[in-house]
Amino acid sequence: ALEIAKQANIIFCSFGDMLRVPGSEQDLLALKAQGADIRVVYSPLDALKLAQQNTDKQVVFFAVGFETTAPTVALAVYQAKRQQINNFSALVSHVRVPPVMQQLLSSKDNKVQGFLGAGHVCTIMGYHEYLPIAAQYHIPIVITGFEPVDILQGLYLCIKQLEQGKSEVENQYSRVVNQQGNQPAQQLLKQVFKVVDQNW
Protein backbone atom coordinates (compact mmCIF):
# COMPACT_ATOMS: atom_id res chain seq x y z
CA ALA A 1 0.00 0.00 0.00
CA LEU A 2 2.79 2.40 0.92
CA GLU A 3 4.71 1.73 -2.29
CA ILE A 4 1.62 2.29 -4.43
CA ALA A 5 0.63 5.44 -2.53
CA LYS A 6 4.11 6.95 -3.12
CA GLN A 7 3.63 6.99 -6.89
CA ALA A 8 3.14 10.42 -8.44
CA ASN A 9 0.21 9.49 -10.66
CA ILE A 10 -1.80 7.77 -7.88
CA ILE A 11 -4.71 8.93 -5.76
CA PHE A 12 -4.69 6.38 -2.95
CA CYS A 13 -8.02 5.99 -1.13
CA SER A 14 -8.71 4.29 2.16
CA PHE A 15 -11.08 4.17 5.08
CA GLY A 16 -9.75 6.45 7.82
CA ASP A 17 -8.92 3.67 10.28
CA MET A 18 -6.21 2.28 7.98
CA LEU A 19 -4.15 5.49 7.91
CA ARG A 20 -2.50 4.89 11.31
CA VAL A 21 -1.88 1.14 10.89
CA PRO A 22 1.92 0.70 11.01
CA GLY A 23 3.66 -0.58 7.91
CA SER A 24 7.22 -1.88 7.65
CA GLU A 25 8.70 1.62 7.96
CA GLN A 26 5.82 4.09 8.35
CA ASP A 27 2.06 4.45 8.07
CA LEU A 28 -0.17 6.03 5.43
CA LEU A 29 -0.76 9.11 7.57
CA ALA A 30 2.98 9.88 7.70
CA LEU A 31 3.20 9.34 3.95
CA LYS A 32 0.28 11.71 3.44
CA ALA A 33 2.09 14.32 5.56
CA GLN A 34 5.05 13.96 3.18
CA GLY A 35 2.85 14.92 0.24
CA ALA A 36 1.39 11.66 -1.09
CA ASP A 37 -2.15 12.04 -2.45
CA ILE A 38 -3.91 9.85 0.12
CA ARG A 39 -7.59 10.47 0.68
CA VAL A 40 -10.03 9.18 3.27
CA VAL A 41 -13.29 7.96 1.75
CA TYR A 42 -16.42 6.58 3.36
CA SER A 43 -17.19 4.12 0.59
CA PRO A 44 -15.34 2.47 -2.32
CA LEU A 45 -17.96 4.19 -4.50
CA ASP A 46 -16.46 7.54 -3.38
CA ALA A 47 -13.12 6.33 -4.76
CA LEU A 48 -14.84 5.35 -8.00
CA LYS A 49 -16.29 8.86 -8.26
CA LEU A 50 -12.78 10.29 -7.77
CA ALA A 51 -11.60 8.15 -10.68
CA GLN A 52 -14.35 9.61 -12.87
CA GLN A 53 -13.32 13.15 -11.85
CA ASN A 54 -9.54 12.57 -12.24
CA THR A 55 -9.09 10.69 -15.50
CA ASP A 56 -5.39 11.65 -15.66
CA LYS A 57 -4.62 9.69 -12.45
CA GLN A 58 -4.96 6.11 -11.28
CA VAL A 59 -7.27 5.83 -8.27
CA VAL A 60 -6.55 2.88 -5.98
CA PHE A 61 -8.88 1.87 -3.17
CA PHE A 62 -7.29 -0.01 -0.25
CA ALA A 63 -9.78 -2.82 0.36
CA VAL A 64 -9.19 -4.25 3.82
CA GLY A 65 -11.62 -6.04 6.12
CA PHE A 66 -13.79 -9.07 6.58
CA GLU A 67 -16.91 -10.07 4.67
CA THR A 68 -18.73 -6.97 5.92
CA THR A 69 -16.90 -4.47 3.71
CA ALA A 70 -16.20 -6.77 0.77
CA PRO A 71 -19.60 -6.36 -0.99
CA THR A 72 -19.21 -2.59 -1.36
CA VAL A 73 -15.75 -3.09 -2.86
CA ALA A 74 -17.18 -5.72 -5.21
CA LEU A 75 -19.91 -3.27 -6.22
CA ALA A 76 -17.35 -0.55 -6.99
CA VAL A 77 -15.27 -2.95 -9.12
CA TYR A 78 -18.43 -4.17 -10.88
CA GLN A 79 -19.54 -0.58 -11.59
CA ALA A 80 -16.07 0.40 -12.85
CA LYS A 81 -16.13 -2.44 -15.35
CA ARG A 82 -19.71 -1.73 -16.38
CA GLN A 83 -18.99 1.99 -16.88
CA GLN A 84 -15.56 1.29 -18.47
CA ILE A 85 -13.70 3.34 -15.88
CA ASN A 86 -10.15 2.14 -16.52
CA ASN A 87 -8.30 4.27 -13.98
CA PHE A 88 -9.85 2.63 -10.91
CA SER A 89 -8.49 -0.40 -9.09
CA ALA A 90 -8.50 -1.97 -5.65
CA LEU A 91 -5.64 -3.28 -3.56
CA VAL A 92 -7.53 -6.17 -1.98
CA SER A 93 -6.71 -7.70 1.38
CA HIS A 94 -10.08 -9.00 2.51
CA VAL A 95 -10.16 -11.99 4.82
CA ARG A 96 -12.88 -14.49 5.70
CA VAL A 97 -13.95 -15.36 9.24
CA PRO A 98 -14.60 -19.16 9.04
CA PRO A 99 -11.03 -20.05 7.92
CA VAL A 100 -9.62 -17.92 10.75
CA MET A 101 -11.84 -19.74 13.26
CA GLN A 102 -10.74 -23.10 11.88
CA GLN A 103 -7.08 -22.07 12.07
CA LEU A 104 -7.45 -21.06 15.71
CA LEU A 105 -9.35 -24.21 16.63
CA SER A 106 -6.93 -26.57 14.87
CA SER A 107 -3.91 -25.18 16.76
CA LYS A 108 -2.38 -27.57 19.29
CA ASP A 109 -2.32 -24.65 21.75
CA ASN A 110 -6.02 -23.88 21.27
CA LYS A 111 -7.87 -22.88 24.44
CA VAL A 112 -10.96 -21.36 22.79
CA GLN A 113 -14.14 -22.70 24.41
CA GLY A 114 -16.74 -20.78 22.41
CA PHE A 115 -17.24 -18.01 19.89
CA LEU A 116 -19.47 -14.98 19.66
CA GLY A 117 -20.00 -14.83 15.91
CA ALA A 118 -19.85 -11.28 14.53
CA GLY A 119 -23.39 -10.26 13.63
CA HIS A 120 -22.35 -7.80 10.91
CA VAL A 121 -20.37 -10.51 9.08
CA CYS A 122 -23.27 -12.96 9.36
CA THR A 123 -25.68 -10.33 8.03
CA ILE A 124 -23.81 -10.68 4.73
CA MET A 125 -22.67 -14.31 4.78
CA GLY A 126 -25.28 -15.98 6.99
CA TYR A 127 -24.07 -18.60 9.43
CA HIS A 128 -24.40 -21.86 7.47
CA GLU A 129 -20.57 -22.09 7.25
CA TYR A 130 -20.35 -22.18 11.05
CA LEU A 131 -22.47 -25.33 11.40
CA PRO A 132 -19.70 -27.77 10.37
CA ILE A 133 -17.16 -25.86 12.51
CA ALA A 134 -19.28 -26.21 15.64
CA ALA A 135 -19.83 -29.91 14.89
CA GLN A 136 -16.20 -30.72 14.04
CA TYR A 137 -14.61 -28.90 16.97
CA HIS A 138 -17.46 -29.42 19.50
CA ILE A 139 -17.69 -25.74 20.28
CA PRO A 140 -20.66 -23.38 20.74
CA ILE A 141 -20.92 -20.47 18.31
CA VAL A 142 -23.45 -17.75 19.13
CA ILE A 143 -24.15 -15.14 16.44
CA THR A 144 -24.34 -11.89 18.37
CA GLY A 145 -25.17 -8.23 17.80
CA PHE A 146 -23.16 -5.31 19.16
CA GLU A 147 -25.43 -3.60 21.66
CA PRO A 148 -24.43 -4.29 25.29
CA VAL A 149 -27.56 -6.38 25.82
CA ASP A 150 -26.74 -8.42 22.67
CA ILE A 151 -23.24 -9.18 23.90
CA LEU A 152 -24.48 -10.10 27.39
CA GLN A 153 -27.14 -12.39 25.97
CA GLY A 154 -24.59 -13.91 23.56
CA LEU A 155 -22.26 -14.65 26.47
CA TYR A 156 -25.14 -16.11 28.47
CA LEU A 157 -26.19 -18.40 25.59
CA CYS A 158 -22.60 -19.52 25.01
CA ILE A 159 -22.02 -20.29 28.71
CA LYS A 160 -25.38 -22.07 28.89
CA GLN A 161 -24.33 -24.35 26.00
CA LEU A 162 -20.98 -25.05 27.68
CA GLU A 163 -22.70 -25.94 30.96
CA GLN A 164 -25.12 -28.25 29.11
CA GLY A 165 -22.33 -29.87 27.08
CA LYS A 166 -23.75 -28.58 23.78
CA SER A 167 -21.90 -27.37 20.71
CA GLU A 168 -24.41 -25.70 18.42
CA VAL A 169 -24.70 -22.57 16.34
CA GLU A 170 -27.23 -20.27 17.94
CA ASN A 171 -28.51 -17.00 16.47
CA GLN A 172 -28.93 -14.35 19.16
CA TYR A 173 -29.06 -11.66 16.45
CA SER A 174 -32.13 -13.05 14.66
CA ARG A 175 -33.63 -9.58 14.19
CA VAL A 176 -30.94 -8.98 11.53
CA VAL A 177 -29.25 -12.30 10.66
CA ASN A 178 -30.65 -15.38 8.95
CA GLN A 179 -28.88 -18.64 8.18
CA GLN A 180 -28.35 -17.92 4.46
CA GLY A 181 -27.40 -14.24 4.74
CA ASN A 182 -27.64 -11.65 1.98
CA GLN A 183 -27.76 -13.73 -1.20
CA PRO A 184 -27.39 -10.85 -3.72
CA ALA A 185 -24.29 -9.60 -1.87
CA GLN A 186 -22.84 -13.12 -1.87
CA GLN A 187 -23.46 -13.49 -5.61
CA LEU A 188 -21.66 -10.20 -6.25
CA LEU A 189 -18.71 -11.38 -4.15
CA LYS A 190 -18.50 -14.60 -6.19
CA GLN A 191 -18.70 -12.67 -9.44
CA VAL A 192 -15.91 -10.21 -8.57
CA PHE A 193 -13.54 -11.99 -6.17
CA LYS A 194 -11.65 -15.25 -6.11
CA VAL A 195 -10.83 -16.72 -2.69
CA VAL A 196 -7.14 -17.61 -2.33
CA ASP A 197 -4.79 -18.59 0.49
CA GLN A 198 -3.02 -15.75 2.24
CA ASN A 199 -0.17 -15.52 4.74
CA TRP A 200 -0.91 -13.82 8.07
pLDDT tens column, 79-107 = 999 999 999 999 999 999 999 999 999 99
In the chain, the percentage of residues whose pLDDT exceeds 70 is 100
Specify the DSSP class assigned to residue 127. S
The answer on pLDDT for 166 being more than 90 is yes
Find out whether 80 and 48 touch, Cβ atoms under 8 Å.
yes
The answer on pLDDT for 24 being more than 90 is no
| Segment among 38-42, 64-68, 167-171 with least mean pLDDT | 64-68
With cut-offs at 50, 70 and 90, classify the pLDDT of residue 177: very high
With cut-offs at 50, 70 and 90, classify the pLDDT of residue 198: confident
pLDDT of 102-136, one tens digit each?
Answer: 999 999 999 999 999 999 999 999 999 999 999 99
pLDDT at 162: 98
Residue 41 to residues 13, 14, 60, 74, 165, Cα–Cα distance (Å): 6, 6, 11, 16, 46
